[in-house]
């Protein structure tokens, strides 16, 4: 989601971006490289390539 993208940008680059500035043409549903755009201003659009990876398995609380 756009929330996930802005959280990663904040974590890696310490830059805060409003999630509404992330332009996702469609929901990301597959693993791989995807290009999205950050609309920082009506005349400024920045391409951003993101890599979607499989989530790590969580340990069961029964272990």
Question: Quick check: is 34 in a domain?
Answer: yes
Question: Quick check: is 14 in a domain?
Answer: yes
Domain range holding 42?
Answer: 2-52
Q: What is the pLDDT of residue 29?
A: 84
Question: Quick check: is 59 in a domain?
Answer: no
**pTM of this structure:** 0.71
Question: Quick check: is 30 in a domain?
Answer: yes
Interval 1-12: pLDDT, tens: 889 889 989 999
Name the pLDDT band for 56 (thresholds 50, 70, 90): confident
Return the higher-pLDDT residue of 59 and 4.
4
**Using CB atoms within 10 A of its CB, is residue 59 exposed (0-12), middle (13-18) or buried (19+)?**
exposed
Number of domains observed in the structure of the chain = 1
For the domain that residue 18 is a member of, what is the CATH number? 3.10.430.100
Interval 12-33: pLDDT, tens: 999 999 999 998 888 888 899 9
- C-alpha 31: how far from its chain's center? 13
Question: Quick check: is 63 in a domain?
Answer: no
């Amino acid at each position: 989601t756009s929330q996930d993208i802005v959280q990663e940008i904040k974590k890696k680059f310490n830059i805060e971006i409003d999630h509404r500035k992330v332009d996702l043409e469609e929901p990301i549903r597959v693993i791989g490289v995807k290009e999205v755009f950050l609309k920082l201003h009506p005349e400024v659009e920045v391409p951003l390539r993101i890599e979607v990876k499989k989530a790590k398995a969580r340990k069961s609380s029964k272990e």
